[in-house]
Amino acid sequence: MPTTSTGKSLTHQLNKHRRLLFKARMSKFDISNPETSSDTFRGFYTLFWLAMGFYVIQSVIRCYEQEGVFLSLGFFRLFSKDGLALLISDMTMVAATIFSVLFSKLLIWGVIPYEPVGVVLQHVCQTVFLFLNIYWTFWRDWPWVQSGFFTLHTIVMMMKMHSYTSLNGDLSIRYRRLKHLKEQVPKWIAEHKDDDKGSQELKSMEDEMVLLQEELVHGNTRFPDNVTLINYLDYLLVPSLVYALEYPRTDRIRPGYVLEKSAATLGSFLLLYVTTERYILPKLYDPHMSDIRVIVELLFPFMINYLLIFYIIFECILNAFAELSRFADRNFYDDWWNSITFDEFARKWNKPVHQFLLRFVYAQSMESYRLSKSKATVVTFMFSSCLHELVLVIVTRRVRMYLFLMQMFQLPLIMIGRLPWFRKHSTTGNVSFWLGMFFGLPLLAILYCREAFWSDAIFGIGDKAA
């Protein structure tokens, strides 16, 4: 038995899925965070929300003076259209991912070898899962809000499935290898009991068994005891795209905290609704306004919406799910607003997706295909750009590739941002970053939405005009 070569191969496999360090942390804008309560700029956080409150009051008054109602419901009618079908479709889509548990069981039982058959099946099934849901979105002919939400949620579930089956598939190889060694070692000892020359080979097998046993245990959880329906349902609630045998947990669920985040979600969504209804949609489909004027008009509304969407997702929704699942690591974002380059922004603003891309695209491309760091970075950016472009293709029903090209254009900008001069003048880099954010969002709206608004009903223009 070639134990030496097998041991080296296994060591490479053990390094293949390095454990992501999860630890108990709180998000930066959480008011229960002790660090936040003592922050020097905490007053500006309070000021922002007070300003947003007065902003809503001002908008409501203007709406009443102009239209005779406190709040227009055109946008509400748009995103509430076919709501029941969307809910049922979303629940069905999430339920379909439970097949991952059965797939993992088949890997553990040895019915399917993970490499290479299981890996191929895994990617085929996930691709079919993605495009079946995309087809369903087109078949239902949902407006842009429903299409965008369902597509994004489908991508999230695909990432969760991939992480779950990848880790369990990799551990199934080690598990079956450990079982084989446990059966082989006693036979080997019986066959070589009078042979002192084979002690090194025996030690190699025993060391490998110890290493395998360590890799199959994380905290109090041992593989394959984790592959259960209950564990998978818990993983669906955990706001992480990287599966682990065990996560850090809080002691209890705080109902008041969940209520606080739910109320913050509703309040922030009201701000989002007012901004979209009053200051974005009227400008986007106004054929009498030039593109440059539209960009100028949308600078602040789009930035406000961007900040609100960030807050709703990463501070409210993810924290609420973390509390319900007692997930203690709530480092969903870092100080992305201080970014100097766009790669720093990509690392900081969406930590769950960054962690997934880091492990399953960036590191995987280097380990499996022997790519250099620079080439792996290009591959990661390309993968991310394709997913972003896919969402906009489904939302607008058009293939334009503007966002893909703009994201890939960040690569040379990143190289420039890494120059010593930019590192030395960090304020200049931060100003460049924010200028890109301010002008990039309205420009994308011009490139994608104006054409769609003028020629299609998916944005609800026909209803509004009526």
Choice among 153, 192, 218, 388 that is catalytic: 388
DSSP letter for 247, please: -
Reply yes or no: is the peptide bond before residue 301 cis, omega within 30 of 0.
no
User: What DSSP line would sit under 90-136, residue for residue?
Assistant: HHHHHHHTTHHHHHHHHHHHTSS-IIIIIHHHHHHHHHHHHHHHHHH
Distances (CA, A) of 100 to 108, 212, 237, 247: 12, 24, 15, 19
User: Is 388 part of the annotated catalytic residue set?
Assistant: yes
On the CB side of 77, CA atoms within 13 Å amount to 10
Tokens of 442: 């309205």
Cα dihedral angle (11, 15, 17, 19), rounded to 10 degrees?
120
Measured in whole angstroms, how far is the alpha carbon of residue 52 from the centre of its chain? 27
Distances (CA, A) of 356 to 101, 163, 240, 328: 20, 8, 9, 18
Phi/psi-derived region of residue 261, left when phi > 0, alpha when psi is between -120 and 50, beta in every other case: alpha
144-191 and 99-109 helices cross at what angle (nearest 10)? Answer: 10
Tokens of 48: 């922002």
Instruction: For residues 52 and 22, give the distance between their C-alpha atoms in angstroms, rounded to a whole number.
Output: 34
Instruction: For residues 360 and 208, give the distance between their C-alpha atoms in angstroms, rounded to a whole number.
Output: 25
CA angle, 191 then 192 then 196, to 5°: 175
**445, amino acid identity:** A
Instruction: For residues 225 and 234, give the distance between their C-alpha atoms in angstroms, rounded to a whole number.
Output: 14
Q: What residues are annotated to the active site?
A: 388
